[in-house]
Structure 1
Amino acid sequence: MTDFWTQILDFSQAETQRVGTQLLQDFGQAQASEKSDGSLVTQSDQWADQELRNAIAHTFPTHGVLSEETEHIFPDQDWCWVIDPLDGTTNFARGLPLWGISLGLLYKGIPVFGYVHFPPLRQSFHGFWQGSSGLTMPTGAFLNQKPIHASQDALTSNHFFNLCARSISVLKNPFPAKIRMLGVSTYNFLTVAAGATLGGIEATPKIWDITAVWAIVQAAGAVWHPLEPNPIFPLQVGENYSQRSFPTLVVSRADLLPVFEPLVSSIRSR
Structure 2
Amino acid sequence: MDKMEQFLSEVLHFCQKTTTAIADTLIEKAGNVSPTAKDDGSLVTSADRWADQTIRDAIASKFPNHGVLTEETTHIFPDQDWCWIVDPIDGTTNFTRGVPIWAISLGLLYHGTPVFGFVYVPTLKQSFYGYWYGETGLSGPTGAYCNGQPISTSQDTPTKSHLFNLCARSTKVLQQPFPCKIRMIGVASYNLLLVASGAAVGGVEATPKVWDIAAVWVIIQAAGGTFIFLKDPSLFPLIIGENYGKKSIPSLAVNQAEFVSLFKPLVECIV
TM-score by length of 1: 0.98
Tell me whether 1:125 sits opposite 2:141 in the alignment: no
Post-superposition Cα deviations, 1:109-145, rounded to whole Å, max 9, x if no partner, equal 0000000000011111000111111112111000111
Matched, 1:111 2:84: no
Which residue pairs with 1:159 in the alignment?
A: 162
Alignment partner of 1:27 out of 5, 27, 30: 30
Q: Supply the distance in 2 between the matched residues of 1:141 and 1:157 (Cα, whole angstroms).
A: 27
More deviation, 17-26/239-248: 17-26
Alpha-carbon distance in 2 for matches of 1:153, 1:66: 37
C-alpha distance in structure 2 between counterparts of 1:18 and 1:114, whole Å = 18
* 1:237-258 alpha-carbon deviations (Å, 9 max, x no partner): 0000000011011100112111
Partner of 1:192: 195
Q: Which amino acid aligns with 2:195?
A: V
Q: Distance in 2 between matches of 1:79 and 1:254?
A: 29
Indicate yes or no: 2:47 matched with 1:44.
yes
- How far residue 160 of structure 1 moved from its aligned partner, in angstroms, is 0.2
Counterpart CA distance in 1 for 2:17 and 2:139 is: 24
Structure 1 pair 172/184, CA: closer, same or farther in 2 (3 Å)? Answer: same
1:230 deviates by: 4.1
Query: Which of 172, 184, 189 is equivalent to 1:181?
Result: 184
- Percentage identity across aligned positions? 56
Deviation of 1:229 after TM superposition, in Å, equals 4.1
**5+ residue gaps, structure 1:** none
Q: CA RMSD in A?
A: 0.8
Distance in 1, matches of 2:73 and 2:84, equals 13
Match of 2:215 among 190, 212, 224: 212
Q: Which moved more, 1:134-143 or 1:200-209?
A: 134-143
- The total of aligned residue pairs comes to 268
**Equivalent residue for 1:172, pick from 157, 161, 175:** 175
What is the DSSP-based 3-state SS (H/G/I as helix, E as strand, rest coil) of the residue aligned with 1:51? helix
User: 1:3 deviation in Å?
Assistant: 1.6
The answer for the alignment partner of 1:150 in structure 2 is 153
- The reply to whether residue 54 of structure 1 matches residue 54 of structure 2 is no
Change (3 A) 1:262 1:63: same
Give me the whole-angstrom Cα distance separating, in 2, the residues matched to 1:162 and 1:235.
Answer: 27
Q: In structure 2, give the amino acid aligned to 1:198.
A: V
2:232–2:249 Cα contact (<8 Å) kept: no
Aligned counterparts of 1:21 and 1:219: Cα–Cα separation in 2: 29
TM-score, normalised relative to structure 2? 0.97
Give the distance between the partners of 1:49 and 1:220, measured in 2 at CA.
28
Question: Which SS does the other structure have where 1:50 is aligned?
Answer: helix
- What SS class does the counterpart of residue 24 from structure 2 fall into? helix
2:30–2:95 CA contact under 8 A, matched in 1: yes
Q: Which residue of 2 aligns with 1:236?
A: 239
Structure 2 gap segments, 5+ residues each = none
**Aligned-pair CA distance for 1:73:** 0.3
Cα distance in 2 between the residues matched to 1:207 and 1:158: 31
Q: Which runs of 4+ in 1 moved over 3 A?
A: none
Question: Residue type matched to 1:82 in 2?
Answer: I
Please say if residues 188 and 212 of structure 2, whose CA atoms lie closer than 8 Å, have aligned partners that are also in contact.
yes
For residues 127 and 106 of structure 1, the distance between their equivalents in structure 2, rounded to whole angstroms, comes to 13
Residue type of the alignment partner of 1:108:
H
